[in-house]
Amino acid sequence: MLAFLDIKSAYDTVDRRQIWRTLEETAPAALVSLLRNIFDDVQIKVLLNNATSTRFSPITGVLQESILSPFLCSVYINELPQILRPHPISSDLTPTDLILRLNCFLYADDVALIATKVDMGTLLQSCENHSYQLGYRWNPSKCVILDPSQSSSSYTLYGEKIPRHSSFPYLGIPFRPGDYPDTVGLVNRNKTKALATMNQLSAIGVHPKGFAPLLATHFYRQIVRAQLEYGLAITKITTFLSKQLEDAQNTCLRRIFGGSRTSSTTMMLHMSNLPTMQERAYTLQSQFLLRSFTLPEDSLLYHFLPLVRQPRSYSQWYKLSKSPIWKRCSSNPESLDCRSLRSIQRGYCQDNLNHKRSINASILLMHCRPIISLDPVLWLPMPKSERSRCIRWRLG
């Protein structure tokens, strides 16, 4: 079973003195002094009802928007995994034994506990004791228990019962009881978030009469599609879910170029040099698989790699390795580099384009450039009216 824990006002209640003491043991003094100057010499003003307070310096907490804050939070509660593990983890453990020893995952203030029903209560009590020692507090109302057995057992923090849910997003990836990623929930969350963002961008000019189509597609590629594809690198999606993502992308493209709900987006994708969502998922998965071979030795996946690559493991890694792009890689993927992988990815997308042209999937596509590239209509200098006329001609 799983327990997802939330620290109440985590970034505001972190004791920075504890962080500096921990860092002073291993980090250079100059680096620690620099961090202290960044986070200790902070002054805040509060704006309320058009009235501004006087400046004050917060005693606790780290900066909310700083890229360093998640790392400093990890340093702050770094002792928690050692307290939760009954035995220390040695470097000579096999992957199978290592899996049995793992009972928690931490990223900044996001904590996930993995245990049996008997041990979960002990782990929660250890977490509660650790919060008393460092001076922070868990938020039981935002913590969640995922139990595949649906038993009547209850678990508490500070005497307050932890609620049970059928699914919970950890680091943006929904999980369901049994430690399985909820791919349906992930796709639905991505669609909802991406379409909401597209609505906001449309209000500021991402529509046929607003920004130039090239700029609008850049907005989509960098902002909207990043939300739509979140988690696809580590998740194998079905044909049905892939169709859901394609529909969401098509909706966004029609908002950019114009068109009805049923108008084809094949030419829009080709002109903008955008892959289908299925091609994009295969690309992200191949990049994740390649990256797994270059991880540092102290990373968790590095130790699990010999196990998850085996067919009998039924692991997510092995399922992802069956993607069309990864099958094109050499039999010895350890020798593959990023440049070679990008060439394989381009070749896969080019073959898909050639296949669509060979079966006459689109008459308009047959009369366009036979290579994957940005259509000159989008970037050649011309008046807005002329560009609009050329794009309408391209789209038929």
**Helix 239-257 vs helix 277-291: angle between axes, to the nearest 10 degrees?**
120
For range 166-180, the mean pLDDT: 85
Say whether pLDDT at 88 is over 80: no
Q: Is residue 84 part of a domain?
A: yes
* Residue 222 CA, distance from chain mean position: 14
Same-domain check for residues 224 and 131: no
Distance CA 362, CA 10 (A): 54
Report the pLDDT value the prediction gives residue 89, as an integer from 0 to 100: 74
Burial class (CB in 10 A: 0-12, 13-18, 19+), 83: middle
Q: Which amino acid is at 10?
A: A
Q: What residues are paired with 144 via a beta bridge?
A: 4
Structure tokens at 256: 């950019």
Distance CA 365, CA 375 (A): 12
Report the pLDDT value the prediction gives residue 151, as an integer from 0 to 100: 76
Say whether pLDDT at 292 is over 80: yes
Say whether pLDDT at 226 is over 90: yes
Say whether pLDDT at 191 is over 70: yes
Say whether pLDDT at 327 is over 70: yes
Report the pLDDT value the prediction gives residue 363, as an integer from 0 to 100: 83
Same-domain check for residues 194 and 254: yes
Say whether pLDDT at 178 is over 80: no
Question: Given 120, 151, 176, which residue is the final one in a domain?
Answer: 176
Q: What residues are paired with 111 via a beta bridge?
A: 5, 106
Which of 161, 154, 123 minimizes the C-alpha distance to 140?
161
Least trusted range by pLDDT, from 19-28, 112-121, 122-131, 360-369: 360-369
Distance CA 105, CA 39 (A): 26
- Specify the 3-state DSSP secondary structure of 48: strand
Say whether pLDDT at 87 is over 80: no
Same-domain check for residues 130 and 189: no
Q: Is residue 301 part of a domain?
A: no
Same-domain check for residues 53 and 128: yes
**pTM of this structure:** 0.87
User: Per-residue confidence at 179, pLDDT binned at 50, 70, 90?
Assistant: low
Question: Given 130, 154, 176, which residue is the final one in a domain?
Answer: 176
Cα distances from 178 to residues 25, 170, 241, 263, in angstroms, run 39, 14, 21, 42
For range 325-329, the mean pLDDT: 92
Structural contact between residues 111 and 80, judged by C-beta atoms closer than 8 angstroms: yes
Same-domain check for residues 35 and 144: yes
For range 231-253, the mean pLDDT: 94
Burial class (CB in 10 A: 0-12, 13-18, 19+), 207: middle
Question: Given 152, 176, 200, which residue is the final one in a domain?
Answer: 176
Least trusted range by pLDDT, from 90-104, 227-241, 243-257, 331-345: 90-104
Q: Is residue 113 part of a domain?
A: yes
| Counted domains in the chain | 2
Structural domain of residue 79, as residue ranges?
Answer: 2-176
Say whether pLDDT at 394 is over 70: yes
Report the pLDDT value the prediction gives residue 377, as an integer from 0 to 100: 92
User: What is the CB neighbour count within 10 angstroms for residue 241?
Assistant: 22
Say whether pLDDT at 161 is over 70: yes
Same-domain check for residues 166 and 186: no
Q: What's the chain's average pLDDT?
A: 90
